[in-house]
Structures are given as structure tokens and as C-alpha cells.
Amino acid sequence: MGDPAAAGLRAAVASAALAGSRYDMAEVRAGTVTDPVLQGALRCARELPALVMTWRRSPRQVLARLHVLAARGTVPDEDLGRPVRRAVDRLDLLLEVISRTPPGLVRAAVVHGELLALAAFPGPYGVVARAAARLELVTGGFDPLGVLVTEEGHLAREPEYVGSAGAFATGTPDGVRSWLRHCAAAVETAAQDLP
């Protein structure tokens, strides 16, 4: 069915690429890449299974942890795990809304899109957003084994990813629809790559 560890590695490499840190998988596997954004994405991927049980109980704590993992070496230590001030109220609203939204692809897309739109954390906030969306897909039962590499689906459609994320940030019905269609297409692309 797929190897969750291998999927996590691929997801981390694709997420880092979407954040502007593109590396060949062979280099990453060889351990020769020291780029802090890639290393942060790899730390998030490794720790995601341990965060599954906490996500439903305390999503704010998990987001803070994901930021610590993703941003170490890219932002000052005192900023690790702390959302930017302008995003706090909207982040609270997001966490309230997702607690009332049925789990699955739509909730994962909303988490992902909102965290991108808010730029909720300093540094590589996109890595945090993609890790949180991945965590939501796993805990929500859409991808319970964590073998879908939706990040590669986003990367394969990168211009659409950027455009639809921007459209989502407008908050208009058309913008939200554009984002949801893109997220569904990314999942479909990832599903086609399953063995």
C-alpha cells in the first residue's frame, strides 16, 4: 500500500521545494543537504506520527511544535513556536471553525489555505501549513496511513497552487472554490502515484 516513512521524506522534499528550497532526492537521501528549510521540513515529517494523538486535543500546541521544527535555524529562537501578532485572532477563529467542520479533505484544505493566507508564523510558514494539512488528512481518516504525498501534487501544479492559494486568501466563494479544486487535484495526483 505504501511506506509512510518514504512518503514523509518525499512530502518534506516537495514542501521545501514549494518554499523555494529545491533539492534532488538523491542529495537529500545522501544527507548532504544542510539547507535549514529542507531540514525543517524533514524534522516535521519525522515527528508527524508522534503528533497525531495531540492534533485533535490541542491543535494550537501542535502548530507551535510544527513551527519550532520547521523554523529552527531560520528565525530567532525567541520567535519559534509563536504565531505573528497580527494572525493570533484569526488563528483562534480557524481553530474554532475546524473544530466544527467534519474531518477530511475539505478541513485539511481549509487548514492549509488559512495558514498560508495568514502567514501565521515567521519564517517557513508554508512548511507548517503543509505539515498541518498532512496531519489533518491522517487524523481525519482521509489518509490514515500517511502514504499520500499531496505535497508532490501541489508541486506538480505549482503555478496553480500559488494562484489558488492567493484566491483562497481573498475569502470570496470563487477563491475558496478554486483552492478546494486545486487541493482535490493534488490529492488525485498523489493517489495516482500509490503503488
pLDDT, tens digit, 9 for 90 and up, residues 38-61: 999 999 999 999 999 999 889 999
Q: Could you give the percent of the chain with pLDDT greater than 70?
A: 99
Average pLDDT over the chain reads: 94
For residue range 68-103, list pLDDT tens digits in order. 999 999 999 999 999 999 998 989 888 888 877 777
- Any domain includes 108: yes
Least confident piece of the model among 79-93, 112-126, 150-164, 177-191: 79-93
Give the pLDDT confidence score for residue 40 in this predicted structure. 98
pLDDT at 106 (0 to 100):
93
> What pLDDT sits at residue 1?
54
pLDDT in tens, 146-166: 999 999 999 999 999 999 999
Mean local confidence (pLDDT), 62-66: 97
Domain span holding position 24: 4-147
**pLDDT at residue number 167:** 98
Burial class of residue 135, CB neighbours in 10 A (0-12, 13-18, 19+)? buried
Residue 194 forms part of a structural domain: no
Q: How many helices (H) and strands (E) does the chain have?
A: 10, 0
174 located within any domain: no
Residue 19 has pLDDT above 70, yes or no: yes
Q: Nearest 5°: phi and psi at 75?
A: -130, 160
pTM value?
Answer: 0.94
Q: Considering the domain boundaries, does residue 176 fall inside one?
A: no
| Residue 13 is assigned to a structural domain of this protein | yes
Domain tally, the chain: 1
Classify residue 84 by burial, with Cβ atoms within 10 Å: 0-12, 13-18, 19+. middle
Asked if residue 182 belongs to a domain, the reply is no
Cβ neighbours of residue 86 closer than 8 Å, sequence gap 6 or more? none
Tell whether 188 is covered by a domain: no
Look at residues 83, 96, 172 and name the one whose alpha carbon lies nearest to residue 129.
83
Residue 9 clears pLDDT 80, i.e. is over it: yes
Q: Please check whether residue 172 lies inside any domain of the structure.
A: no
Residue 30 scores a pLDDT above 60: yes
- pLDDT for the residue 169: 96
Residue 19, SS3 per DSSP: coil
